[in-house]
Amino acid sequence: LIAYLNGRFAPLAELSVPVLDRGFLFGDGVYEMIPVYDRRPFRLDEHLARLAASLAAVRIDNPHDEATWDTLVRTLIARQPFADQSIYLQVTRGAAYPRNHAIPADSTPTVLLFADPLNPPAAALVEQGVAAVSMQDPRWQRCDIKTTSLLGNVLARAASVDAGAVETVMFRDGLLTEGSASNIFTVKDGLLLTPAPSTRMLTGITYDVVLELARHHGVPLQIRPVSEAEVRAADELWLTSSSKEILAIVSLDGRPVGNGVPGPIYRRMYGHYQQFKAGEMRP
């Protein structure tokens, strides 16, 4: 498994970073996860734009321009033995001594990329849907930044692991925010509903694709605050992410969502998404 660290490609197992790296000490870094289908990165420009936005938000100078990032990602893809990949890309603020919260004036960012085999949800999961639980959103006020400081997300996810469920849906001040590692959509009486991008959630690349597809295919859509009560009364509930694509949530906190099976709008959108992926991936 060939990875990339700070200018060189090498087997992942041979790479290491200094213990003083602020990514290790402070969670001081940002990341992206880019799905790759048949060696073609999906929505790479959008991922690189979000990376640039995350870096700017945490005041790390972007170590590469977009063309260099593009080349790096494509080189890594070419060097893997498998065609469907999940590219993990991380930039931290780098090492600094002594340990100090203050942002160092002169640290060099640590750039890491590696690939895993991509495993989109199996057909059975798409057919049957998944279980989710809910909790109050335990995270900070800048959930729009894709930072490696993920303890809130980790603890949120632990709640669904404990319950044998696949995702944890979070609420803040009575409103839906997102999942521990996904965005959430609801359907009520044929209307697709999802929160607008804000500092309370990460704007998913998949979220944007689903909105584009809804508009293109004429699925009635409202982007507005969604209350916890609306989530609990929804006919359909979906989660979206680069790795899980679109999955129907068929039970929430042990109670069925709608009829307890993936709904008609979900099936439609899942089809649109697969078609879109195939089209996007044509050379």
Binding site for ligand PMP (CB under 6 A): 33, 153, 178, 181-183, 202, 204-207, 240-242
Asked whether the beta carbons of 75 and 65 are under 8 A apart, the reply is no
Least gap, CB of 207 to ligand PMP (angstroms): 6
Q: Which residues contact 48 (CB under 8 A, 6 or more apart)?
A: 32, 66, 69, 70
- Rounded Cα–Cα distance for residues 108 and 21 (Å): 10
Please, which residue, 115 or 202, has the CB nearer to ligand PMP? Answer: 202
Helix 264-281 / helix 205-216 crossing angle, nearest 10 deg:
110
Please, which residue, 3 or 169, has the CB nearer to ligand PMP? Answer: 169
Q: Which residues are catalytic?
A: 146
- Rounded Cα–Cα distance for residues 114 and 217 (Å): 36
Please, which residue, 129 or 179, has the CB nearer to ligand PMP? Answer: 179
- Rounded Cα–Cα distance for residues 198 and 235 (Å): 25
Please, which residue, 9 or 228, has the CB nearer to ligand PMP? Answer: 228
Asked whether the beta carbons of 167 and 179 are under 8 A apart, the reply is yes
SS3 category, 231 = helix
Least gap, CB of 242 to ligand PMP (angstroms): 3
Please, which residue, 35 or 94, has the CB nearer to ligand PMP? Answer: 35
Q: Tell me the DSSP string of 157-194.
A: HHHHHHTT-SEEEEEETTEEEEESSSEEEEEETTEEEE
Considering all CA atoms of the chain, what is the largest pairwise distance in Å, rounded to the nearest integer? 58
Question: Which value, in Å, is the radius of gyration of the alpha carbons in the chain?
Answer: 19
SS3 category, 282 = coil
- Residue 84 DSSP symbol: S
SS3 category, 195 = coil
Please, which residue, 30 or 95, has the CB nearer to ligand PMP? Answer: 30
Beta bridge partners of 130: 249
The pair of three-digit structure tokens given for residue 77, joined into one six-digit string: 């893809």
Least gap, CB of 139 to ligand PMP (angstroms): 8
